[in-house]
Amino acid sequence: MARRRKRKSELEDWISVLAKLPWQFCVALIPVAYIGFAALARISVPKADALDGLGVVFASQIAQTAGMFLQYLVPAVLAIAALVSWLAKRRRRKLLSEAESRAGAAGLLDISWKEFEQLVRAGFERDGYAVRPTADGADGGVDLVLSRNGESFLVQCKQWRASKIGVGVVRELFGVMAARGAVGGFVVGVGEFTRAAHEFAEGRNITLLNARDMLERAPEQPRSEPAVSAEGRPQPDCPRCGAAMILRTAKRGANAGRTFYGCSKYPACKQTVEAAQS
């Protein structure tokens, strides 16, 4: 007989919801919550001069009691949520590091779909996005919501094993983008995308991204002087956004084997610069 899953308490539900927020946000809310509820605990309870004043007295007593209790409970819940959020981010970084050490798509197919989503989330966090997961299956197939510089982007994760990712997935994402006012979107998959998917994404600010390429991208590093490649050549800054550029080698297509500089903020910036061929 299967064991019945234990139902979470409301307190655990609140911690789970708050833990989806960045841990810094939870920490920042702790003093705000304490000060607010502490002020509520110090409100004065008026004396009832007549029968019609009993309601005000009762409401004041309820508010005062709630403030006395919540001034400690809410900050404690926020502190626990911040710790859970920090530990979850640390686990995602470890998962990303382990995935980067594995070659090819085999390692990406061996992990669960939930781990794949966490891996994609860690990759976007590394690239400077604030990332918020959505409720499972509750947002038109969108798995992650990204934000940076006041703009939002939507992400679908597709860990498909047997077939290419088709245009239907891209159309679905574009519909949700239009409904929510997102400026762009990403479809991140393990396998290849169909030609129709690429054609539909073109010009709609939707990036079709192979998860293996995401793992191969090194995070942008701050630098105080011009970087140089292993051959001693200066590496240029991106002419579009000013970020550092990374020397890469084309792995497929007509230019396979040729080297070029790609923006370190890819896929947000797709600028490339031709590298001098030796």
Can you give the CATH number for the domain in which 194 is found?
3.40.1350.10
Considering 100, 126, 146, which residue would you say is the last residue of a domain? 100
194 and 221 assigned to the same domain: no
Query: Is the same domain home to 91 and 118?
Result: no
203 and 222 in a single domain? The answer is no
Joined together, the tokens standing for residue 40 give 């509520």
Q: What is the pLDDT of residue 103?
A: 47
pTM: 0.52
* Residue that terminates a domain, selected from 73, 100, 127: 100
**How much is the CA Rg of the chain, to the nearest whole Å?**
25
Per the domain annotation, does 2 fall within a domain? Answer: no
Cα distances from 19 to residues 67, 83, 143, 241, in angstroms, run 23, 8, 17, 33
Both 206 and 238 in a single domain? no
Residues of the chain with pLDDT under 70: 1-8, 48-53, 96-109, 135-140, 161-162, 214-235, 239-242, 250-256, 265-268, 276-278
Domains in the chain, number: 3
**Quick check: is 57 in a domain?**
yes
Burial (CB < 10 A; 0-12, 13-18, 19+), residue 148, is: middle
Same domain, 133 and 59: no
* Inside any domain, residue 140: yes
Picking from 167, 264, 272, the residue whose alpha carbon sits closest to that of residue 217 is 264
Examine residue 4 and state whether it is found in any structural domain, yes or no: no
Find out whether 177 and 62 touch, Cβ atoms under 8 Å: no
| Predicted pLDDT at 99 | 64
Same domain, 263 and 168: no
Please name the residue that has the structure tokens 């304490």. Answer: 34
224, 272: one domain:
yes
The reply to whether 64 and 79 lie within a common domain is yes
141 and 50 together in one domain = no
pLDDT of residue 149: 82
How far is it, in rounded angstroms, from Cα 248 to Cα 273? 10
Residues 222 and 210 in one domain: no
**Per the domain annotation, does 31 fall within a domain?**
yes
In a domain, 1, yes or no: no
Do residues 58 and 76 share a domain?
yes
Strand pairing category for 245-249 and 206-210 = unpaired
pLDDT for 35: 92
Angle between helices 23-41 and 54-100 (to 10 degrees): 170
- Structural domain for 31, as ranges: 10-100
Is the backbone peptide bond immediately before 31 cis, with ω within 30 degrees of 0? Answer: no
Residue 114 domain-assigned (yes or no): yes
Is residue 105 a part of any domain in this protein? no
- Amino acid 98: pLDDT: 66
Of 69, 100, 131, at which residue does a domain stop? Answer: 100
Say if residue 71 is in the same domain as residue 116: no
pLDDT recorded at residue 216: 60
